[in-house]
Amino acid sequence: MGAVLPLLLPLLLPPWAAGGAAVCGRCPGPVRNGSIVAQYCASQAGTESEGRCCRERGARPERLLGLDLSDCSLHSLPPGLAEAAAIVILDLTENPLTPLPNGSFLGFTHLQHLMVPLALECPGGSNAWENVTMHGKSWLCQGQRNPCNSSGELAWLCPENAACAPDGPGLVQCLCDSPFHGYKCLREGTFPMLLFCGILGAITLSLSLLLWGTQRRKAKTP
């Protein structure tokens, strides 16, 4: 029964929940008792668990808080992981993981607690985290540092009109400064379309009428 439920879940859930459910059903069973994810969820009010996930109860759109992928025979990160980018806590222990490619946790800006097997290091390097501790057979990486503020080697330079913003552990992105927007932040403000159309229309109309009245009214069309 426990093995069937995760397979059925995607079918039973409404479409808006399907994305989260795919990751949650990636590994069999519920959140393991005693894992950091279970502890975290127990400490937070208003959460419920679904498969390997822990999420806010009744929040729409669904917001995942924690994900327990421990003991899941993962060699690499599951492809649907990006859908869980909002999670706060992630457990990857007891998996035969190979070193993770740079940028695996792109967009995981809320991630505050991450457990990875000892064979790996904390994503983004230990500099990207406030606190790295050994926890049994795994590393516990806690508290993301904001790489934009670091004055070290990664003094990040964004192009004109854009500013650096954190984008996951050890990762940065460049977002447009306030009045700028659009591709490469090239645009500033919004074009006063109504004003422009109004003025141009009024001028065209009045000039056309004026000129028609003074010039073409008595014209003999050949």
Other CB atoms within 10 Å distance of the CB of residue 210: 10
Cα 56 from chain centre = 17
Give the C-alpha distances (Å, rounded to integers) separating 205 from 200, 210, 217, 218.
Answer: 8, 8, 15, 19
Residue 21 sits at φ, ψ, to 5 deg, of -65, -30
As a residue count, the chain comes to 222
Q: Exposure of 35 by Cβ count < 10 A (0-12 exposed, 13-18 middle, 19+ buried)?
A: buried
Closest to another protein by CB, 47 vs 127, is 127
Q: Which stretch binds another protein (CB under 8 A): 70-78, 88-96, 145-153, 209-217?
A: 209-217
- Judged by CB under 8 A, which of 133, 146, 149, 208 binds another protein? 208
Q: Least CB distance from residue 84 to another protein, whole Å?
A: 18
Q: Which stretch binds another protein (CB under 8 A): 6-14, 43-51, 67-75, 191-199?
A: 191-199
Work out whether 188 is an interface residue with another protein (CB under 8 A): yes
Closest to another protein by CB, 96 vs 159, is 159
Work out whether 174 is an interface residue with another protein (CB under 8 A): yes
Work out whether 43 is an interface residue with another protein (CB under 8 A): no
Work out whether 85 is an interface residue with another protein (CB under 8 A): no
Q: Which stretch binds another protein (CB under 8 A): 4-12, 79-87, 127-135, 210-218?
A: 210-218
CB–CB of 24/18 below 8 Å?
Answer: no
By CB under 8 A, what part of segment 132-161 binds another protein? 158-159
Structure-token pair, residue 30: 């519920």
Work out whether 187 is an interface residue with another protein (CB under 8 A): yes
State the amino acid at position 73 in one-letter form. S
Structure-token pair, residue 89: 């806590």
Q: Least CB distance from residue 94 to another protein, whole Å?
A: 31
Q: Exposure of 36 by Cβ count < 10 A (0-12 exposed, 13-18 middle, 19+ buried)?
A: buried
Q: Which stretch binds another protein (CB under 8 A): 55-63, 125-133, 145-153, 198-206?
A: 198-206
Query: Closest by alpha carbon to 110, among 84, 130, 131, 135?
Result: 84
Q: Which stretch binds another protein (CB under 8 A): 42-50, 114-122, 134-142, 195-203?
A: 195-203
Residues making contact with another protein (CB under 8 A): 106, 158-159, 167, 171-176, 182-191, 196-197, 200, 203-204, 207-212, 214-216, 218-222
